[in-house]
Chain A
Amino acid sequence: MELSTSVLLTIALAPLVGCLLAGFFGRFIGRAGAHTATILGVAIACGLSFYVLYQLTAGGAPVYNQNIYTWFEIGKYSAHVGFLIDRLTAMMMVVVTFVSLLVHIYTIGYMHEDPGYQRFFSYISLFTFSMLMLVMSNNFMQLFFGWEAVGLVSYLLIGFWFKRPTAIFANLKAFVVNRVGDFGFLLGIAGVLYFLGTLDYATAFASADSLVGKTLQITQNTHWDAATVICIFLFIGAMGKSAQVPLHVWLPDSMEGPTPISALIHAATMVTAGIFMVARMSPLFELSETALSFVMIIGATGALFTGLIGIVQNDIKRVVAYSTLSQLGYMTVALGVSAYAGAVFHLMTHAFFKALLFLGAGSVIIAMHHEQDMRYMGGLRKYMPITWITMWVGSLALCGVPFFAGFYSKDAIIEAVGESHRWGSHYAYFCVMAGAFVTALYTFRQMYMTFHGKERFTVVHDHGHGHHVDHIDDHGHHEQGIMHETPHETPWVVTLPLILLAIPSLLVGFFTVEPLLFREWFGSAIHVNEANNVLGELAKEFHGSAAMALHGFFQLPFLLVLTAFAIQTYIYLFNPAVADRIKTTFKPIYNMLNHKYWFDAVYYIVFARGGIALGRALWKGGDTAVIDGVLVDGSANLVDRIAGGVRRLQSGYLYHYAFAMILGLILLLGGYWLVGQ
């Protein structure tokens, strides 16, 4: 049975309808109307996405690849809006709509006091639409549309609380940094059109081999390999969207947005668009060893070094944000060693457990009345058991403890890097291995500081104040460490999504690792050259999910996790003073991490301030001084001055004119006489 176009259109458009209803008619349909409309839209999309996935796997439906309408057609070049639905797409659709649905439900609880309730629902539904357009696209143009549209929604949502100076700084920064990536991405697309003559995926990939041996002239004597140039440019796009070093700086700041979108956009879905894109482009990337090495090294650097920053963060959301950066690094490394399926698999498990961790952090934030600093938490486990347990599930999955979902995907990536012989793979192997240790360090620290140990806040009951604190005024306006009521478990609309995410965080790896990683489940969607097939090598040693997990208990990554667990347990449960002592002993390292390796500061000075200084210099120096001052007004003044000088001759006195006539006569006669001689 074939996939039907109307079903696919419904999937894409249902969230858009919800968005328009909540956005334009929010005032008429009210809060309940807004959340009902949007949740209904996303629920339809989610249900049908599962149906599409079912059709493609159990139903034996062939891959769907059709254009919906023509966007433009000029000579042999054309662009369309259309869908390519294979298993890779279907899996992304399920992940996106499922997490989005849970986030919609969660938002009812998280945003219920916020005056921008309808607007928020409208935005997240718009996001779901954009993301679906991105993953369902069958061509580069629509991919770029979705790519930019999710960036727009991200901009709107990071700046959702638009009165906060930090939020509107962060959203501008996020957009512009993403645009740096998109700059590369667009050039990559232009390169594809140049060399392959089409914007259509299927046609481009079919003729991908024609890139071999082609070069692009860069200067008179420099020619670069076509595939390498295209792939690196495309990957620069992924570096922006998926926050890879050195374009990662926007992601931690994006935490200024409300927590539900941190979970949906900045952890589970949008930031993984780059990973998806590279996996989708695997037929191109397979052509360039150089580009893949580049991808791998960038990813590995991010996996380790951004994770390290997570260790020194005190804001509960920022810990998760740096963890996201690090995990995106893992996915990118997997792409770089040609283990595309591994990257996508980690993308999926990560979507579940990271959304869970963010939503859990949000649940804590609600309970703490919008306190995000972990130094004022502690001991919360007895007040909010559901959040506590589900977050432990997410944390163990993140650390890669065997049997949890994250174990299967992360362990596979580490193993795959170990198998790879690509240039730089030793460095990558070290990074991902050390990264496992670092992940465990910040994860256990976060869990202990939040849920365990002594309570570092005091409860002062004074009714009538504190409960109705406006969301917008939460940051730093009240005294930290003082609660006006005892924290308590959040309502069911918040905990239900946590539970529903905890289930896949625990189980999805165990049940899907075999087909996804080792049985070429993705089929034609992902192309790997035989020589690069590291997952194929691993498949030879695979003897079932349980065996893999049991084996995992005796492997280095798990031993590192155990070590980290022991260290953090000792420090945060028994001897908190050690943490401060380490901080003072390794002051320079602490400083470096606390300043995020000075990336933000340097960028701010060089690009933001530098850009403004350059603009001012060009404006005052070029436009005002030279063009207007010298050329335009200068020539006007010159005319004025000459005219002013000449005017003096026209004095109006008769004797001046008579004198001039006599003078003229003398000169004329004199000249005549001289010439005559």
Chain B
Amino acid sequence: MFNHLLSLLIWLPIVGAIPVLLAGSGRPNTARWIALVVAILTFVLSLYLLPMYNTADSAKQLVESHVWIASLGVHYSLAVDGISVALILLTTFVGILVIVGAWEVIQTNPHQYMAAMLVLEGLMIGVFCATDALLFYVFFEAMLIPMFILIGVWGGPRRVYATLKFFIYTFFGSIFMLVGLIYLYLKAGSFDLATLASLPLTMQEQTWLFFAFLIAFAVKVPMVPVHTWLPDAHVEAPTGGSVVLAAVMLKIGGYGFLRFSLPITPDASEAYAWVVIGLSLIAVVYIGYIALVQEDMKKLVAYSSVAHMGFVTLGIFIAFMLVRGAGNADAAKLGMQGAMVQMISHGFVSGAMFSCIGVLYDRLHTRQIKDYGGVINVMPWFGFFYVLFAMANSGMPGTSGFVGEFQVILASFQANPWIAFFAAFTLIISAAYTLYMVKRVLWGDITNPHVAEMKDINGREWLVLGAFAAGTLVLGIWPHPLVHLMDSSVTQLVTQLGNHKI
């Protein structure tokens, strides 16, 4: 069984979605329980990755490869490294929490909702495992479908606009990637990522390819200025959709840079690193100010996601300046690790923030900050979690939110103090926009009589928020295991960056 662990991880939730669907709308509880069991099984299986993955070995592991489309040389080939393992664990972990989180909340066709979630989970795991570019692309695009359905069916009043925007925006981006992949296939005769990585390319070729990949992944991350789909998608998505979107889907953008831009177009990536770094810093500062004035809680957290993901792209691309400019591979690793830790951490923190907003929304059916105020008076346990996650969102040491940002800022100072200067601005602005929201939602006296009737979180909500809190705190207090898990893969990646193709 463990020879095909990765396949199992991908297909278990997807196949598991079938009985969930078959349970039908008449037996919602059966559907929920099957979905939960499938999600838990997937999570337990994914835990087997930890003993099976050898952290000392930088090579891709748990390899599976079968010919898929022989005429095009497309393989169904899977393998993982430390970075993939970390992201798969995040996916399966969040996978359980969104099922539990939606338990009573989704009342219309819960079987379809749960099935869509499971399919989505399987596809996302597929993205993190694929080592064939076309297979990656298939998972990458297929992911849009369940998310499209989740937002379009269970979303808010403007869901049609939001889904369309979400779909076309991301599809627009990935088309460029497809063109790039076809070009590479014609040149190399293969879609194997390792082959593509060692393919010699001229600077001109690399530049075209780099921007093709950049557009695809920048939309996904999202980076400024192609981020505007995210606030709309989040606002209209159901809570679970937002959680998956923020916690896992955005990471696929960052992951894509690692698997495509860096190894295939290293020289163009170096030449245009300044573009990505500049956009990342704009994300921190410009988006920070925009987050400050949001009146809708989900929009605020969505914008804050864009700002936090800025650290991911920053950490990845300063590595070039450090490896090739300063010749400091260790600093490059520090930045790259920071980016990776930030991805995982943002998974916990943004997932938790959206879950918190979901808790409030379920009670008052509004996301407007002005409708709240004084929530702490009636929901003290909720208040505890909300403050904890708000602090994590503003990068408080002891929570996961600090670790990645700290590493990226330390590394970027090595590249150029000015980069660190703008990146560190997050300390001020993230505290300002997050705590300003907390002030208006949580603190104060109750002004809205409906707030007075709100009940504190129930056991189910406690479970979800508690699990996120555990992730946030464990990672914040002891990041070493995660860093260690990814260490050899990051080292490998950084070494690769140093290899010129021209």
Contact = CB atoms under 8 A, between A and B. Distances in A.
Contacts of B410: 77, 189-190, 193
B397 A149 contact: yes
B330 A76 contact: yes
Contacts of A632: 165, 169, 228-229
B436 A152 contact: no
A576 interface: no
A424 interface: no
A155 B442 CA distance: 14
A522 B374 CA distance: 49
B428 A616 contact: no
Contacts of B442: 162
A193 B333 contact: no
A182 B431 CA distance: 11
Contacts of A194: 413-414, 417
Interface string B381-421: 00000010001001011100011001101101110010011
B444 A165 contact: yes
Interface residues of A, number: 53
A187 B417 contact: yes
A483 interface: no
Contact of B427 (A73, A179, A216): A179
A672 interface: no
Interface string A476-518: 0000000000000000000000000000000000000000000
Main SS of chain A's interface residues? helix
Contacts of B228: 623, 627-628, 632
A73 B431 CA distance: 28
B420 to A, nearest CB: 5
Contact of B293 (A179, A190, A619, A628): A619
B424 A183 contact: yes
Given A194-B414, A628-B228, A611 B289 contact: yes
A622 interface: yes
B331 interface: yes
B452 interface: no
B283 interface: no
A618 B286 contact: yes
Contact of B478 (A71, A216, A623): A71
A50 interface: no
Interface stretch (B117-125, B245-253, B479-487): B479-487
Interface stretch (A140-148, A316-324, A329-337, A590-598): A140-148
Contacts of A72: 337, 403, 407, 479-480, 483
A75 B225 contact: no
B130 interface: no
Given A74-B483, A180-B428, A193-B413, A619 B290 contact: yes
A190 B329 contact: no
Nearest to B376: A162
B122 to A, nearest CB: 31
B334 interface: yes
A165 B406 CA distance: 33
B432 interface: yes
B54 interface: no
Interface string B327-368: 001110110010000000000000000000000000000000
Contacts of A571: none
A615 B293 contact: yes
Contacts of B225: 627, 631
Interface of A: 69-77, 141, 144-145, 148-149, 152, 155-156, 159, 162-163, 165, 168-169, 172, 175-176, 179-180, 182-183, 186-187, 189-191, 193-194, 216, 218, 611-612, 614-616, 618-619, 622-623, 627-628, 631-632, 636
Given A75-B334, A155-B435, 19 more contacts: A72-B479, A72-B480, A74-B490, A145-B397, A162-B376, A172-B439, A175-B431, A187-B421, A189-B410, A190-B414, A191-B417, A611-B289, A614-B289, A615-B290, A616-B293, A618-B286, A623-B228, A627-B225, A632-B165
